[in-house]
Amino acid sequence: MFGDAIQREISRFKSPGKVVNLCFIVVFIFSTVLTWREAVVLEGAYVANQRNSLDSVATLLDRQLQHNIDSLLFYRNTMHYALQSPISTDRTRKSLAEFDLFRTQPFWQLRLDLHRSLPINGVSDEFVNSSPLLERDDETLHTELSAALELSYIMRLSDRSRTLPQRIFYASRSGFFLSSTAPVNDPKIVSLYYRLIAQPYFSSQSPQNNPSRVLRWTHTFNPNSTSGQIITAAIPLDFNGRWYGVLALDYPIDSLHSFLQQAKYDDHEGTVLLYDNELNPIATSAKRMPKHALFTAPQLAQIANAVTAAKPGEQGELRLDTRFITWAKLNNFDGLLIKVHTLEEGVRGEFGRISIVLSVLWLLSTLMLFVSWMVIRRLVSNMFSLQQTLSWRANYDTLTRLYNRGAFFEIANKIAQECKQQAQPFSVIQMDLDLFKSINDRFGHSSGDKVLTHAAAMLSDAFRQGDVAGRVGGEEFCIVLPDTTLEEAVKVAERIRVRINSKELLLKQGNTTRISASFGVSSALEFNDYDFERLQSYADHRLYKAKQDGRNQVCSHD
């Protein structure tokens, strides 16, 4: 029952080809949506993978920076405590006395212990007086020096085995400095101290330039060279309202390069770059810094736009031309890490390979779908025309193309009943070709067939729309005429008779013949009977009479 319903629904479509098209379109859409969904899931996994891989580098770098900044803050606290309650031992007193002796010399060095402390390196009073940034306040000078001597012990203990090499130093406004990397020779002290106080990180820590007294990052950027560049984290040292100096942490760019290279991935994993807060590249995980700018000005603006509102620790991604960019804002550095993953690298990677397999599978399935669509369409089309032919043959006579006996009787009965219901006249004409056997005998069976076809065509041309004709025997035809009286039916029969007999018919080998037919006509009104089969037998009886009366005539009475 359910199957019948489906069949009924399907049969509503005039062309089964359309049903096949529809089915295949549905399958195609379904497979494409499934593939697309897989692609979306894959893309999500790819983005997560890119983020994770950058996150691991960012976390590692942040951890390193955090450790170093913690050290810097620890040294500042040490200085605060030491300034508050300075130690006074024989050794410190001896060192301070030495300072009083050396302070006018161009450079000098104080050292409490050769192995356990770092040297304090200083310049002359004259040098200090020559710079407006510097000041040797005699009231606080000894306290600061003894605090620095104390720090020189502790700074000596700084852990140098970390993966991110760096230099920690204290540059005092009183004309001396203490550095985790001691100068190799004495004259270098002056130039080193000069360089320390000449750098922006020193002057930027003055109370005017850094009123909130926070840690600041500076990058000595030279676009033409990577050697000698450093990034520095600096905090001011203040005590009792006086700015004593700057505690700072230097990272040579090369150490950041090495750090990023240690976090090395496979070749297809892309490149990680460290950018400062002005989006200048500082370091890269690649072997060397790119020769040309990686991003155009509009692309840099796009990145800047994406990261401006981001908080430290936040991550994001964007697509620039064929590259996939992941960025992470660092917690402990005023800049960001950017990972650039090119299309080529992506294709060589795991996700690229899966994407290619997915695309190939989709293409193959679409191709197979297309081929099977063509085959099934062809099959369905052939079956449909076969069905049409069979169905036609079940109802029609193939020779004359009129209704065959079975179909004709069914239709004629129906028309008779309709006429009866509507109280309309109804007539039947029975026609039989005259002496047809002799045509077969003289000219052959195929010529006989030709005559039959010709007679059927004459018949079809002569009756009105609404009349129905059928071949009811070998050379016998019957016509039913709804809403037609006996007189009108006789006229129709007469017209057909004249047409059939009107011209010579060309048969085999140039022979011609003129054919004729006899007709019997009956009508429902004369018998007050609408039974088609009875009316047909009355007409047949009158046809027999027409034959007996000499053929080629219409008979409508008994």
Q: How far is the CB of 471 from ligand GTP (least distance, A)?
A: 9
Q: Where do contacts with ligand GTP occur on this chain (CB under 6 A)? A: 432-437, 440, 445, 448-449, 452, 474-475, 547, 551
**Alpha-carbon gap, residue 68 to 168, rounded angstroms:** 9
Residue (435 or 457) nearer to ligand GTP, CB: 435
Residue (223 or 474) nearer to ligand GTP, CB: 474
**Alpha-carbon gap, residue 30 to 547, rounded angstroms:** 72
Residue (202 or 436) nearer to ligand GTP, CB: 436
Q: How far is the CB of 436 from ligand GTP (least distance, A)?
A: 3
Q: How far is the CB of 437 from ligand GTP (least distance, A)?
A: 3
Q: How far is the CB of 523 from ligand GTP (least distance, A)?
A: 23
**Alpha-carbon gap, residue 432 to 452, rounded angstroms:** 10
| Sheet architecture: strand order including 315-320 | 281-284, 271-276, 335-341, 323-329, 315-320
Q: Name the DSSP letter for residue 173.
A: T
Residue (295 or 436) nearer to ligand GTP, CB: 436
How many CB atoms are located within 10 Å of the residue 56 CB?
12
Residue-wise DSSP of 349-378: SHHHHHHHHHHHHHHHHHHHHHHHHHHHHH
Q: How far is the CB of 505 from ligand GTP (least distance, A)?
A: 13
Strands 315-320 and 271-276: unpaired
* Length of the chain as a residue count: 558
Residue (510 or 550) nearer to ligand GTP, CB: 550
Residues 6+ apart with CB under 8 A from 513: 439, 443, 451, 504, 505, 507
**Does the active-site annotation cover 475?**
yes
Please identify which of the residues 269, 475, 488, 533 carries the catalytic annotation.
475
Contact 295, 303 (CB under 8 A): yes
Q: How far is the CB of 397 from ligand GTP (least distance, A)?
A: 9
Residue (352 or 444) nearer to ligand GTP, CB: 444
How many CB atoms are located within 10 Å of the residue 199 CB?
19
131 class by beta-carbon count within 10 Å (0-12 exposed, 13-18 middle, 19+ buried): middle
User: What value, to the nearest 5°, has the Cα angle with vertex 157 and ends 156 and 160?
Assistant: 95
Active site residues per annotation: 475
